[in-house]
């Protein structure tokens, strides 16, 4: 029996995730902005960029309102036209932009780990992150974004082969007609109408290979940089100041947790979404969980930074408790009495 309950739950989750993510990232941007550059170096601009991209990702998620559907031979990311107000073409464009954000965040996370690696093991090479080289890093992020967008839009868009599988399943599972939704997706196998044989869909295999290479290269690089950085931090002796070691540890812990969160809430579920149809598997729980987890995970990223970086945590406590102003008042009263 068809049902749209989980699709409605996803809409509410996306609204909550959008509001929390934008609010918390704006707070984090204010905290980063008021910190002197000497505290974080050029890493200040990297954190600033990450928060801005996080806001953009949240906006794209809220705008495109993606859902996931799994079948035994394919998976699709779709949105509902009456919810988004899009025509079918604009719905596909919105979903492609959303998928482009996924590739963008992969490169940003890897760049964060690379910066931490250089700051601890190769500080003399931190000039690679000077403002002069900013266009190079921005170009890498944009290239990843456009590769994911282009493959999604031009290769993984809707087609008659995918319609044969998805349209009956959408009627069965969601009570939706073909004009009720837009989708992009990958279909690993299809039935040749002339011979009746089951064949592999080459364009889908090409795109999933590129996506998998991106994810593997990104996760492998982050693991390498992370392990090297962690090992070196443990070896730091009195040659470095306590403040330096403490700040590096705070930034590294923040980065690790900021990577574990999307790994659990987004990358691992999406990886399973890639793999399940390849082996003829499907999961109703997975397709219900993925869009909700992706919508909510973005609000956790700024929370981690605000909690684990002491200077941010202290500043928030000062603002919330008005501690800074109380101290000023106490100093003033002491001065007048003397």
Is residue 78 exposed (0-12), middle (13-18) or buried (19+ Cβ within 10 Å)? buried
41: left (phi over 0), alpha (psi -120 to 50) or beta: left
Q: Rounded to two decimals, what is the model's pTM?
A: 0.86
Determine how β-strand 74-80 pairs with β-strand 181-187: antiparallel
pLDDT at 50 over 80: yes
Instruction: Specify the pLDDT at position 153.
Output: 96
pLDDT at 283 over 60: yes
Q: Is the model more confident about 215 or about 235?
A: 215
Both tokens assigned to 257: 């947790």
Q: In this structure, what DSSP letter does residue 259 have?
A: H
CB 129 within 8 A of CB 46: yes
Average of per-residue pLDDT across 303-316: 84
Instruction: Specify the pLDDT at position 82.
Output: 93
Instruction: Specify the pLDDT at position 258.
Output: 67
Q: In this structure, what DSSP letter does residue 188 have?
A: S
Percent of the chain with pLDDT over 90: 37
**One-character DSSP codes across 46-98:** HHHHHHHHHHHHHHHHHHH--EEEE-SSEEEEEEEHHHH---HHHHHHHHHHH
Average of per-residue pLDDT across 86-94: 95
Distances 122 to 29, 134, 206 between C-alpha atoms, Å: 27, 19, 37
Beta bridge partners of 79: 182
Distance between CA atoms of residues 63 and 90, nearest Å: 11
SS3 183: strand
Alpha carbon 279 to its chain's center: 26
Average of per-residue pLDDT across 164-174: 92
Instruction: Specify the pLDDT at position 231.
Output: 78
Instruction: Specify the pLDDT at position 277.
Output: 86
pLDDT at 185 over 60: yes
List pLDDT tens digits, range 147-157.
999 999 999 99
Distances 313 to 28, 257, 322 between C-alpha atoms, Å: 11, 16, 14
Q: Which of 290, 300, 299, 295 lies closest to 267 in space, CA to CA?
A: 290
CA 266, 269, 274, 275 torsion: positive or negative?
positive
Residues 6+ apart with CB under 8 A from 134: 45
Domains of the chain: 5-62+98-156+209-330 (1.20.1070.10)
């Amino acid at each position: 029996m068809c049902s749209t309950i989980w699709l409605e739950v996803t809409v509410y989750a996306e609204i909550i995730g959008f509001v929390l993510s934008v609010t918390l990232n704006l707070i984090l941007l204010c905290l980063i902005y008021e910190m002197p550059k000497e505290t974080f170096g050029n890493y200040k601009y990297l954190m600033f960029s990450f928060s801005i991209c996080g806001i953009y990702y949240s906006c794209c998620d809220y705008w495109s309102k993606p859902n996931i559907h799994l079948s035994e031979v394919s998976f699709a990311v779709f949105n509902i036209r009456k919810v988004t107000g899009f025509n079918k073409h604009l719905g596909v464009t919105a979903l492609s932009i959303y998928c482009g954000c996924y590739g963008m965040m992969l490169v940003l996370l890897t760049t964060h780990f690379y910066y931490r690696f250089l700051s601890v093991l190769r500080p003399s090479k931190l000039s690679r992150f000077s403002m002069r080289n900013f266009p190079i890093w921005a170009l890498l992020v944009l290239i990843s974004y456009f590769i994911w967008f282009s493959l999604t839009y031009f290769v993984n868009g809707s087609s008659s082969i995918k319609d044969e599988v998805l349209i009956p399943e959408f009627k069965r599972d969601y009570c939706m007609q073909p004009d009720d939704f837009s989708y992009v997706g990958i279909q690993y196998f299809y039935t040749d109408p002339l011979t009746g044989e089951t064949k592999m869909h080459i364009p889908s295999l090409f795109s999933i290979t590129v996506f998998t290479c991106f994810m593997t290269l990104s996760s492998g690089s982050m693991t390498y940089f992370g392990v090297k950085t962690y090992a070196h931090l443990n070896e730091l002796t009195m040659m470095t100041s306590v403040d330096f070691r403490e700040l590096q540890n705070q930034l590294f812990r923040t980065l690790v947790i900021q990577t574990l969160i999307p790994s659990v809430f987004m990358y691992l579920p999406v990886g399973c979404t890639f793999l399940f149809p390849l082996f003829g598997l499907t999961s109703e729980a997975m397709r219900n969980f993925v869009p909700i987890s992706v919508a909510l995970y973005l609000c956790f990223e700024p929370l981690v930074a605000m909690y684990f970086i002491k200077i941010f945590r202290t500043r928030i406590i000062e603002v919330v408790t008005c501690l800074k102003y109380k101290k000023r008042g106490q100093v003033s009263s002491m001065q007048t009495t003397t």
